Structure 1
Amino acid sequence: MIHYRKILELHDEGISLRGISASTGHSRQKVTEVMEMAVKKGLTCPLDEEMDDKWIEDFLFPEKSLEASGRHPLNFDYIHKELAKPNVTLSLLHHEYEAESRANNKIPYSYRSFIRHYGEYAQKHKATLRIRRKPGEILEVDWAGTTAFIIDRDTGEKVKAYIFVATLPCSQLSYAEAFLSMNLQSWICAHIHAYEYFGGVTQIVVSDNLKTGVTKHTSRELVLNPTYKEMANHYDTIIMPARVRSPKDKASVEGSVGAISTWIIAALRNTHCFSIEELNEELRKKLEEFNHRPFTRKEGSRYSAFEEEEKFALSPLPGMPYKISEWKTAKVRPDYHISVESMFYSVPYEYISRQVDVKISEDMIVIYFNHMWLTSHKRLYGRFGQISTVREHMPDNHKLFVDQTPEVAIEWAESIGSSTLSTVRYLLDSYQSEKQALQSIFSLKKLEHRYSKYEIERACKTLLTMTKRPTVKSIQTLLKNNKKKDAEQELEQNIEMNDTNFGFTRGASYYGGKDK
């Protein structure tokens, strides 16, 4: 047996390499190897009493005890690294290890021994044990049962503050934040802040069956709150609520809740905060202390375990954080608008009397029908009763009415002709009230349904040669007369054509007479 303990103690006393080699009877190469491995694994003097030569050998060179058994040695670093990958299990790694052993004509360890040796290695040398939890796979979230409080400046009354807790089971790194309510907005906001704190997203979120996040959860059906589900889609993660009355499904967060209740909430019992911002500032200080506290049974802390063993496995955050939105249903009114918080937003008039889904965010109102996008509006704020109307949502007759402005009237007249433009300009200038002028022009525009642009332009041109004060009534009369004249002329032309374009006719000579 190599004198590991004596080598380390002599080195700590400053004895030279030559002196240590002479004192222990080991080669300088072996002494150097032991000292370098001790530095690499953080084993320093003074050593505890139970750290004898056998313990130190198992700690520094765990593979030696395995090699002595005659079995095919295990590559623990490889096993630990592979376990971090998705869907890789100890069962799969043991199967590969057995195949490799047989290929090398060596005896493999049994599956039980394989697990036991890896567990001993991970407990000694690694911050996380990956048998049960993979890095970056799960985030467990819950509300703490113990509440904190803030003090109302005006009344001195204590106001409850609810603590949200999120834990990464692999590294045990936790996040906590205080809110004045456990409503949906607080729940979603807490998730967003937790992702930002961890700097990434896990594959799965395990939550409790609280009503703000889970609408229905049975053995056959799971219905999530639409906002919660949308947030999960934004961060490309999956919500998997714990089974009802099954706290073991989120044991890590349950354990962290207890620890946080002691080391954070109870630690702040004598701290008086007058706003939720002040409370969260103090809570964040205690949270940093909690995450950096050394483990009692192994090296490192929650934070160091996260940095070394789990941070790399988190999915990156999206470019923009999720914007909290709320879902409601609304019925389309006869005026093809829906009411949202006493503001009115239009939808296509074809959906009058239909039920639609409304997504309400801080700056947008988005309307869906049977999961199909219909339209979006910028959210209105301020006095009640404001209206947001999109022209394309109107029936044609409403569009005509809304379009009555001097600019639109001029634009329409230009599309007809110069005489119509002169008539419209005269109407706009002649009436004392612009509204009256636009009503007359509206009546003129409606004529386009019965008459062509050429006919309207011709009537306006004829009227302007007769008077300098054209009226819509006169134009209507001219159009009717022109229409009548055109019809009569067309009839006369048809008669003439029938008279001239006759068929074959027998002459008088055919009947024995003489043609004149």
Structure 2
Amino acid sequence: MRSAARRWCLEVAGQRIHGTTRRQPLTVFRQEERHTLGEWDAEPYEMTDWRTAKVHPDHHIACQYALYSVPSATCPPGQKVEVRLGSKLVRIYHRGRLIKVHPRQDRGGRSTDPDDYPAELSAYTLRAPEQIKRSAASQGPAVAAYAERLFDGPLPWAKLRQGHKLIRLGERYSPERLDAACRRALSVDLIDVRRLERILVEALEQEATQPEPPPMPPGRFARPGAVFARANGRTAQSAQGERS
């Protein structure tokens, strides 16, 4: 394809008379355009993808199944931003102005800059985790304990998405199954709502956990230790037989 494109440019399209300028494009390029081109920086051309995203209440945008934080002072929740997805970097623009750069994340990844959160948290970010905890407590004690572990950290509002997903799991699979799944996840210290959902999808919460094996009985010898005592190169038992 490359050789065909080169031949087409040099021998076909470059030689024919252009319908508007009435000149040969190849001649125009050599005489007027070539000397204005800059030097190549040896970096390959990067194919980028442009998207439009909305800033959510947790000050993140969702793009290509990954989350990226947005400065609250520059672009509060509810605003729309333009996202430039490169192979290594994600650039976020608001009204044509660059406001944030993140490393590109894989599917399900998250890139959060704590400085993007507001200096004084809004009432929503303070109340939301407590509301989710109350909703979780209504679905079972294990769900309540799981929600407590989920929001246990310096930035609990960063887990709001997982908290809402936790509540929806109870609505989809029933509170009883969710409570059993949370109990199983807590037993192995698995605090990840996505993996918790996998337990429900595969119905692993119904499997009984493997009991721990009983402790081994204390070791004992078939003969007393005196049998193996040695005196002058002979065992005590052989010496006693000689004396008798």
Structure with max Cα Rg = 1
Q: Normalising by structure 2, what TM-score?
A: 0.37
The answer to which structure has the higher helix fraction is 1
